[in-house]
Structure 1
Amino acid sequence: MAHNRAKSAARNASLVWLIISGLILAGGLAFAAFAVLPKYMAFFNEPTVIDIDDLEDLDNLPIYNAQITGKEMFDTSYYYEDSYLFIPLSREYFGAMWTGDKFLLVRNGGVIDESALTYKGTLRELDRDESTEVVMDLEREVPETQGFFMSVVLDATDHPTEFGNLVMVVVALAAIGFGLYGVYRGFSHLTNPAKHPFLKSLSRYGDPDDVVDRIEKERVLQEDKVGKLTLTKNWIIDEKGNNFRVMRAQDLLWVYKHVQTGRYNTKHYSLRLYDQHGEMISVGAKNEKQADEMGMEIAKHAPWALIGYDKKIEDAWKNQRNQLIAAVEQRKVQASA
């Protein structure tokens, strides 16, 4: 039964991992297909030439790598400035392209050259800042332009190496890469639970099949349940949810109650168990009372273990474990005397 429980926990955990990884992979592929690839395919193809007479009839925005030639170009004197600690890092300038009956706002990475009438970039809807901070301000300053600005902007700052585009590429690749790895790992552990860390971790006690058989025999004879833990004569077992983690009682060195303070001063309790193999198990408790109950029950099963937090013990477990093991072994001798 223990073997089945261990395998079941490994399969359930693998299935959850597989589903989550699959969702991340699907999201990464969708993001790449609908947001990244169309933009970069347009960037590396010939620009889409758009006639100024067709600008107000377009409904398939955004159009990447669009090329538009106006009749006149005006520098609006508006610009956005990115700075850090009051140090200017970059500026983006705004121009107004006259199309014959309307103005098209142009966002450019350099100073607007009024002699240049052709610009390339992404044709898209005005964002909120562009609409309120540039267009509406211009219309207030120059009332004659009221109602003459189009609701679209030609963003010439949108190019393959623009920071935001590079971030999109990195996010898509990271999601796809992590998703592929997660799907492979989840499927591998699902089809062969013995590869799962739950079962592989048992190998420090011997053959995993033999270990779970020994655990099951002890559970049949007697087991004590307290909080999220199951205790047998020689084993400490955490198998709530999709977990199946075990620690041999005779290897236990140190146990203490961990308290973490969250938002609004809420406290979260857990019990931390450390053994001589360098393993640590953290077992959540629903409240402080349950954490104390688990700690007291473990103290009965392993009276030689050190109880309670102490910075010196923590340092010894990390840096001088052999000395800590020797001290606990001495406590075992005293406990059996």
Structure 2
Amino acid sequence: MFCIKNFSFCGVKTFTSIHVMNFSTGRMTLGAVNLKGRSLLTLKDFSSNEIKHLLWISGDLKQRIKHEGQNLPLLKGKSIAMIFEKRSTRTRMSTETGFALLGGHPCFLTTQDIHLGTNESTMDTARVLSGLTDLMLARVYSHSTLETLEKEATIPIINGLSDLYHPIQILADFLTLQEHYGSLSGLTVSWIGDGTNVLHSFMMTAAKLGVHLRVATPKGYEPDESVVREAEKLSKQFGTNLFLTTDPMEAAHGSNVLVTDTWISMGQEEEKDQRLKDFHGYQVTMQTGSVASPDWTFLHCLPRKQEEVDDQVFYSSRSLVFPEAENRKWTIMGLMVSLLTDYAPKIPLLKF
């Protein structure tokens, strides 16, 4: 049996979500989602149901492995090549430990270990690793590197971070918010900071989950124009609000979630002094939260610096940064399982 849910905004129908009743279990499931063999370079390429499916599988693995102590060797005999042009704590540890926990073999590769784009072309590297591994995650400077890998590889490619997008971070963020609030639709997320790859991924995802997005960036640090245009289309399609400003307090007004990120990314160290001046007034504090919703929480993808958010917020009960960091593991596991297997979740569908 199909259950068709019509969603509306201000009385106007905006989109339809199709769920399927499984008569053997009596549970509602997302209909016809199979991501096996796909790559994830940006969540722009994934539908609302596909993103929800990824979150559902992630929640399923977390429940069954962490809380129920089950052994799920779903990736036994599989291997993943983890290419890191840029260092990371959470991306490396979540992918490496998660893949191993599922029975597979992770291979960590820095620019000191392989010849990516130096003594060996990116095209050749993609073809070689396709014959040696089952999956590739690449954390790179340029998004074009990922596009070359995806074009030339015969295995799925995961964007572990690029200058344009950071999709695996956003999956963790939304699983964290789903766990905390019980559902996602109708929440308002406020981004206060730089127009970074993390913001771009929020903009490609939020509307598909029924989440409103308010963005404050200083002049000259706005998100990419093409990303803004796409986000505006998504907001119109899914009936959500997208609001851009240069005023942090205006962006925070009425919000459920305050989010920020580093103001000085790797490779921007020489811009530090100017950036600190330009971002004056953008630190997230309890004063910022005073205009937010009474149930407001805080997210940061880490590592964090005090100029971005003060200790009073960062270490408060409103801060979800450490559950958020842990969920990097469960969501990357959910993604890897989805791209490599036909695994179906066993827990009831999460409330979105």
TM-score of Structure 1 vs Structure 2, range by shorter chain: under 0.3
Q: Which of structures 1 and 2 has the larger relative contact order (alpha carbons within 8 angstroms, sep 6+)?
A: 2
Structure that is richer in strand per residue: 1
Specify which structure has the higher proportion of helix.
1
Q: Which has the larger radius of gyration?
A: 1
